[in-house]
Chain A
Amino acid sequence: MIEYALGFAYLAFGAALVLNLWRLAQGPSAADRILALDTMVINGIALVILIGVSQATAVYFEAAMLLSLVGFVSTVALTKFILRGDVIE
């Protein structure tokens, strides 16, 4: 049963990643693009966890943790750039 669930999850998150790329490329506004990238990071975290589940190992957990801890910093920096031009002022 778990195999089917995992396969479905892979498909769903994979499709989400591709569709996010579509949004990132299309825009139209910069906010759309940044949000698309942020969502891709979230989907990436999910994929890392799924790989860990399917291989029955905890060794990738830190990768997921790190991605969730620092992944949003890029988003923040990009947003700050759009708003103020200067990321650190």
Chain B
Amino acid sequence: MTLALIALTPFLGALLPALMIRTGRNACAVTAGGVTLFALILLLVEAPAVWRGEVLLQRVDWMPGLGLNATFMLDGLGLFFAGLILGIGLLVILYARFYLDRDDPMGRFYSYLLLFQGAMVGIVLSDNVLMLLIFWELTSLSSFLLIGYWRHAPEGRQGARMALAVTGMGGLAMIGGMLILGDIAGSYDLSVILTKGEAIQASPLYLPALLLILLGCFTKSAQFPFHFWLPHAMAAPTPVSAYLHSATMVKAGIFLMARLWPALSGTPEWFYIVSTTGLVTMVIAAVIALFKDDLKALLAFSTVSHLGLITMLLGFGTPMAATAAVFHILNHATFKAALFMSAGIVDHAAHTRDIRRLGGLRRLMPATFWVATIAALSMAGAPLLNGFLSKEMMLEEAVHTPWLGLGWPIPLLATVGALFSAAYSFRLIGHVFLGPQRDDYPAAPHDPGPGLLAAPALLVAGVVAIGLAPAMVAGGLVNLVADAVTGGAAEPVKLKIWHGLTLALAMSAVALVGGYLLLARYADAVARWRRAGVFAAKPVFDALIALLAALAERGTSALHAGTLPRALGALCVALLAMGFAGWGEGALAGSRETLTPPLIALAPWALLIGTCLAAARMHHDRLMMVLLTSVVGLVVSLGFVYLSAPDLALTQISVEVVTTVLMLLALNFLPKDSPDETGPMLRTAQAGLALVAGLGAAALSYAVMTRDGPTISEFHVAQSYPGGGGTNVVNVILVDFRGFDTFGEIIVLAIAALGIYALLDGALRGPSLGRVISWVPDQERSKDRHPMMLVVATRFLLPVSLVVGLFILLRGHNQPGGGFIAGLVVAIALVMQYVASGYAWTAQRRPMDHHGMIGLGVLVAGLTGAGAWLADRPFLTSAYGYVTLPPLEKFELATAMAFDLGVFLTVVGAVLLALENLSRVARFAEQPGPDEPMDVDPSAEPRTAQEKG
């Protein structure tokens, strides 16, 4: 389980920093680092096998029917990326410890960071593409949290929203692409998909799948024209930028292109889409980067440019280009993380990131100067550093790659991109560190302590080491990864510094010299750039989002204006349209023999029609509607009895009572009449629609009732006793066959009751409390609050009702009844006490808090279900047996009964909580009476006529 554990460790560990922050900032950072280190060690333990060329697979069947399995794979590519994510993650954790201010909530930061780290590791270790998609979306969500970490900064929030919108949209497209891909390959496992390259490319669905997947990759990796989100994400704290934009988030798209390289690449479509996008992105972003004055914005656009370079190399489709891409991923991760960290140090020390306000920091911050300069020179492609090596490999590949049959476009544009890349790298060194020392820095710049410098210095050491001895330091790894990317097609290359006098070397030299000359005439270049006018993406994006929001708003308000008639009208129209669409398909009447209506059905039938007519005529009177609803409920209960459904009848009877009480409690605060809200025209139209919808419902019922269809009832009836140990099939279905549904339903019921509590509790606070207190009753009040007759009658009925409830609960498994009905009966018995003696008196006497009762019910039901695990059976498998207690007959005991007890407790708690809280509102609105059971005191001595006189 090591692979799964590597991916899960950051997720599990994400809880720790949020807790450890209570013991201090160091403990918090050490915990986060420890979690990452643990995952990294687990990875290194597995590394030797991968190094020998093995591909590790671990499979946990999750939902095999859907092709969704938790399968993890570790090969060279996964090892490489997981190593980068965890290794640089460790450095970022170290850096962030010293970067974050005392006011910044550090626990939250590390928790988010670990969540993000887990999602990234999950992506690179997933073998199942569906699981990969889940991790993919998780990176979008967790990066949203990280980018918006400084919640008080509007740029942070906007940047986070933009990143989420763009990458989330791409993720949606990619889900479609992956599903198509899995469909073509016949499996959602990457290890299978990668071997089906030919079948995939021959499929007619290849192009749509490719486009959708690339849309996901390009948005994630900030390729043109989706590059605009990345610079705005720079509002994040610098450690986040260093992590997200060097080794992780934006590399996810690159990773996926590399991962799917054997299956998708090599076609003209792949070449032209991917390499052209990469090339355009590389050049445009490099040009923009040169003219950015914000240090982090410069680095952001340079990141976009370098991602374009890697994308282009992957797009070439040749094994050699893929090797170069892998090498550049490694190099870019090292120097770009170091550069972001250096930018953070400068920002920390000088209190500005604006390049125009910096310059001359070389003597003030010598250590930072060296770190940043080496990293920037590597980015520029200066010899003896790692950036030079991979950039030269890129140029070499560019020379050999024709575009539309022409040899010059790619080499020329690649050189232009490299030239601007050199120029902005030199600008970073020249305009920040070199030049005359100034005396108007916002703060006095100085080198930071070793804590902040350690991480970038380590990275720069790597930059130099790879640059000086590439074959020794990185050669083996690059070949291993390239082998995994290309599916074994890549020839092992020997990385070396000197390739002889090649065209690529000349292009490198042109880029470096040209970049230097361009920077020398920077003022001139800026003037030209200004004249050319800059196209800003953010206003366009904002306008687009505003447009979409407005459209959605209009669509919603057209259908859901908050008025019930309109919502129901939209529903009826849609249903009628669907009904008419199916009008021609076959006859309305089925083949089943129709029955003559029996005499007994006549009265309820007339009753229903009469009630409907009365409701249509008197619907303005709300109390009348409550009464008429009760009549309908009564008729429905009778119908259930007549149609041999005693369980449903019992449920309906008790639900009716509770509903009536609930509606009356609410009606107290509502107007007693509903006024006409629509004109006569609209009302006529609504009446017509209602009539047609009613006829449609009648036609549908007629069509269904005149047909015989196969049902699953026979199975349930046959299996009820042998399978569930009960003769009441309805109850066995509820607590056994469909026990999991019932478990879900009682949880929903519990949540609904707690929701009512929360909403009403909110109504009793703040301004709405004022409205409740100033509420004036709109009807006359009788003087008798708690009539004595009612009090006495309900006291007598309480034990009787409780016994009936218990009886219904216990017999439920074999005879009509069960936990739900019993719960309602007991709840009604208790509600009667509330009605008779008032809230205060009854609430003092309740044995248990209703919240607790709801929780206990769900717990009992859940534990009963989990008990099946002890017997090594699936959740909620029931068991039953027979017990003999001497004075009683032999009787049956089923675990389903305990489950039913849970249902019972939840129902009682939920009903009472809802009713009690509705009545609590009234206690605020009106003067509550004394906490006595009734208004008269029967124990007092009766006063004689004399005394009265």
Residues on A close to B: CB < 8 A?
7, 10-11, 13-15, 17-18, 21-22, 24-25, 30, 33-34, 37, 40-41, 44, 47-48, 50-51, 59-60, 62-63, 65-67, 69-71, 73-74, 76-78, 80-81, 83-89
Query: Which B residues lie within 8 Å of A41 (CB)?
Result: 634
Q: B94 to chain A: closest CB distance in Å?
A: 62
Taking the nearest CB of chain B, how far is it from the CB of A55, in angstroms?
A: 8
Interface residues in B623-646 by Cβ distance below 8 A to A read 623-624, 626-628, 630-631, 634, 637-638, 641-642, 646
Contacts of A80 in B (CB 8 A): 664, 835
Tell me, in angstroms, the Cα distance from A88 to B837 when the chains sit together: 8
Which residues does chain B contribute within 8 Å of A51, judged by CB atoms?
600, 641-642
Residues of B participating in the A interface, judged by any CB pair closer than 8 Å: 599-600, 602-604, 606-607, 610-611, 614, 618, 623-624, 626-628, 630-631, 634, 637-638, 641-642, 646, 649-650, 653-654, 656-657, 660-661, 664-665, 667-668, 777-779, 781-782, 784-785, 790, 797, 800-801, 804, 808, 815-817, 821, 825, 828, 831-832, 834-835, 838-839, 915-916, 918-919, 922-923, 926, 928-929
Partner of A7, one of B599, B626, B784, B929: B599
Identify whether the interface residues of B are mostly helix, strand, loop, or mixed. helix
Q: State A81–B665 Cα separation when bound (angstroms).
A: 8
Q: Which residues of A contact B926 (CB under 8 A)?
A: 86, 89
> How near does chain B come to A28, taking the closest CB pair, in angstroms?
12
Q: Provide a sorted-by-A list of 8 A–B residue pairs whose CB atoms are within 8 angstroms.
A: A18-B610, A34-B627, A40-B631, A48-B649, A51-B642, A62-B646, A88-B665, A89-B929
From B600, B634, B661, B839, contact of A10 by CB (8 A): B600
Q: How far is the CB of A31 from chain B (nearest CB, A)?
A: 12
- Whether A66 pairs with B654 at a CB distance below 8 angstroms is yes
Once bound together, how far apart are the Cα atoms of A41 and B777, in whole Å?
30
User: Are the C-beta atoms of A25 and B649 separated by less than 8 Å?
Assistant: no
Query: Are A81 and B782 within 8 A (Cβ)?
Result: no
Inter-subunit contact B922/A89 (CB<8 Å) = yes
CB neighbours (8 Å) of A37 from chain B are: 627, 630-631
Are B624 and A21 touching (Cβ within 8 A)? no
Interchain residue pairs A-B with the least CB separation, the first 6? A14-B603, A88-B919, A83-B782, A25-B614, A74-B660, A63-B649
| Residue in A30, A62, A67, A86 whose beta carbon sits within 8 Å of that of B808 in the complex | A62
Cross-chain contact B922 with A86 (CB below 8 angstroms) = yes
Taking a contact as CB atoms closer than 8 A, the residue among A15, A30, A85, A87 that contacts B781 in the complex is: A85
Most chain A beta-carbon neighbours within 10 Å: one of B624, B638, B825: B638
Contact A14–B602 (Cβ < 8 Å): yes
B800 to A69, Cβ gap below 8 A?
A: yes
- Kindly state the separation between the CA atoms of A67 and B638 in the bound complex, as whole angstroms: 10
Shortest C-beta distance, B108 to chain A (Å), equals: 44
Q: Shortest distance in angstroms between A38's beta carbon and chain B's nearest beta carbon?
A: 10
Q: Would A83 and B784 count as touching, CB distance under 8 A?
A: yes
Q: Are the C-beta atoms of B667 and A81 separated by less than 8 Å?
A: yes
- On whether the beta carbons of A87 and B919 are closer than 8 Å, the reply is yes
The docked-state distance in angstroms from the alpha carbon of A44 to that of B639 is 11
Q: Which B residues touch A59, using CB under 8 A?
A: 646, 815-816
Contact B600 A14 (CB under 8 A): yes
The reply to whether A85 and B668 form a contact with Cβ atoms under 8 Å apart is yes
Instruction: State A59–B195 Cα separation when bound (angstroms).
Output: 65
Given known A-B contacts A10-B600, A87-B835, A67 and B919 have beta carbons under 8 A apart: no
Q: Once bound together, how far apart are the Cα atoms of A25 and B816, in whole Å?
A: 34
- A14 → B minimal CB distance (Å): 3
A41 to B627, CA, bound (A): 12
A71 to B606, CA, bound (A): 22
| B599 and A11 form a contact (CB under 8 A) | yes
Are A44 and B817 interface neighbours, CB within 8 A? no
Report B-chain residues with C-beta under 8 Å of the C-beta of A10.
599-600, 603
CA A75 to CA B922, docked complex, whole Å: 21
| Interchain CB contact under 8 A, A70 and B634 | no
Measured CB to CB, the closest approach of chain A to B364, in angstroms, equals 76
B816 CB contacts on chain A under 8 angstroms: 59, 62-63
Q: How far is the CA of A89 from the CA of B586 in the complex (A)?
A: 58
Given A17-B607, A67-B637, A89-B923: A62 and B817 interface contact (C-beta under 8 Å): yes
In the bound complex, residues from chain A placing their C-beta under 8 Å from that of B599 are: 7, 10-11
A83 to B790, CA, bound (A): 13
Q: For A89, list chain B residues within 8 Å (CB).
A: 785, 838-839, 919, 922-923, 926, 928-929
Q: Are A69 and B781 in contact (CB under 8 A)?
A: no
A48 touches B641 (CB 8 A): yes
Q: Please determine whether B623 and A30 come into contact, CB atoms closer than 8 angstroms.
A: yes
Find out whether the CB atom of B631 lies under 8 angstroms from the CB atom of A63.
no
| Least CB distance, B754 to chain A, in whole angstroms | 20
Q: Are B627 and A78 closer than 8 Å at their CB atoms? A: yes
CB proximity of B676 to chain A, nearest CB, Å: 20
Beta-carbon contact of B835 and A63 below 8 Å: no
Contacts of B656 in A (CB 8 A): 74
B610 touches A87 (CB 8 A): no
Whether A86 pairs with B797 at a CB distance below 8 angstroms is no
Residue B634 contacts which of A11, A18, A40, A76 (CB distance < 8 angstroms)? A40
Q: Which residues of A contact B618 (CB under 8 A)?
A: 25
Q: How far is the CA of A80 from the CA of B600 in the complex (A)?
A: 34
Chain A residues, CB < 8 A from B664: 77-78, 80-81, 87
Contacts A83-B784, A86-B926 hold; do A33 and B624 have CB atoms under 8 A apart? yes
Residue of A nearest to B779 (CB): A85
